Structure 1
Amino acid sequence: MVYNNPWIGVREDAVVRPDGERGIYGVVHYKNTAIGILPIENDDIYLVGQYRYPLGIYSWEIPEGGCLEGDDFLKAAKRELEEETGLRAGNWAKLGEAHLSNSVSDELAVWFLATGLIQGKQQLEGTEKLIVRRLPFKEALRMALNGEITDAISLMAIFQYHLLNSK
């Protein structure tokens, strides 16, 4: 392991390339599964806005969080939705999963649809400063299409929901 912290580990592997030559391959191991929640009420969606340090930008995205290895994805999704937005959902459905950057990492993302929403109190962690925004789903779709939303999990969830509900 070249680098290790509570969230990621980076290793360098000695490999034999397809051309038979020896080489190295850097791999980022994520210790959490990325969890996304698409909270939909009637024709509205809830997005959260926050500053993303690695990119140096403010980002609008669906509520997201991490699920420790061995923990239940749905349980983590319920916890993250309530922490970030104060919302609880009566209905849950898994929408999808994907590897986010499979050329360099093993990071897995799983996202859920949450409906039957009940508003409660936001319970942010000390590392979070979020703004919650309720807007028409069509507006979020427009934001995704024109590049205002760039978060991969958010884009996949929004586009998938749109495709599944197009008439």
Structure 2
Amino acid sequence: MSNADHLIEKQLNSETIYEGKVITLTVQTVELPNGKQAKREVVLHPGAVTVLAITADDQILLVNQFRKAPNSLLIETPAGKLERGEDPLTSAKRELEEETGYQAAEWKHITSFYTSPGFADELIHCYVATGLTMVEQKLDEDEFLDVLHVTAEAAEQMILDGRIADAKTVALVYWWLRERMREGK
């Protein structure tokens, strides 16, 4: 037991309110650490991947696409959801090729993090891909996006002026900038 076990909520029951193609919404009854009960609305998600694809000339591939939830065009690192039981690296390779038309020779897992732990269990796995080779873009039939080649300086400026407002992309760009500083670039 860790010192924080006294903070854990015990799930008493769970009711599925909605089950869709991407998410399941549940209402869970939990027992709080003080013995009282509370309701928690929880979005269940299969997980996702995102890729920081770095070109030979030290640019990154970003995609510009419309996202309905914020009702806005967003500039993001290539990303997508895991299929049930799918290995995250397999998913990352598929998403990079589908969205950008590139394959990578080298892959490195950077980190995994929860996107919105206050209400969702989505865990996103972040990869760096290098040794890129252009193959063929294979967008899903309901997917429309533009691929952008962006320098480190331009990516940082896009964050500072609000053109990049996607959390996973901000995190990966700042990771990249830190790595570049370590390398003296």
- The TM-score range, normalised by the shorter chain, is over 0.9
Give the gaps of 5 or more residues in structure 1: none
Whole-angstrom distance in 1 between the partners of 2:78 and 2:115: 17
1:36 counterpart residue number: 50
In the alignment of these two chains, the number of paired residues is 166
Whole-angstrom distance in 1 between the partners of 2:161 and 2:34: 41
Shift of 1:21: 3.6
Which moved further from structure 2: 110-119 or 19-28?
19-28
- The answer to whether structure 1 residue 116 and structure 2 residue 168 are counterparts is no
Whole-angstrom distance in 2 between the partners of 1:73 and 1:24: 31
2:24 counterpart residue number: 9
1:8-31 CA-to-partner distances (Å, cap 9, x unmatched) read: 11111122345544321111100x
Identity %: 33
Larger Rg: 2
Which residue of 54, 64, 86 maps to 2:69?
A: 54
Runs of at least 4 residues of structure 1 off by over 3 A? 16-21
1:26 counterpart residue number: 41
- The answer to whether structure 1 residue 80 and structure 2 residue 95 are counterparts is yes
TM-score by length of 2: 0.84
2:114 counterpart residue number: 99
Whole-angstrom distance in 1 between the partners of 2:120 and 2:98: 27
Shift of 1:141: 1.8
Whole-angstrom distance in 1 between the partners of 2:25 and 2:66: 24
**Normalized per residue, which structure has more strand?**
1
Does structure 1 conserve the Cα–Cα contact (< 8 Å) formed by 2:63 and 2:147?
yes
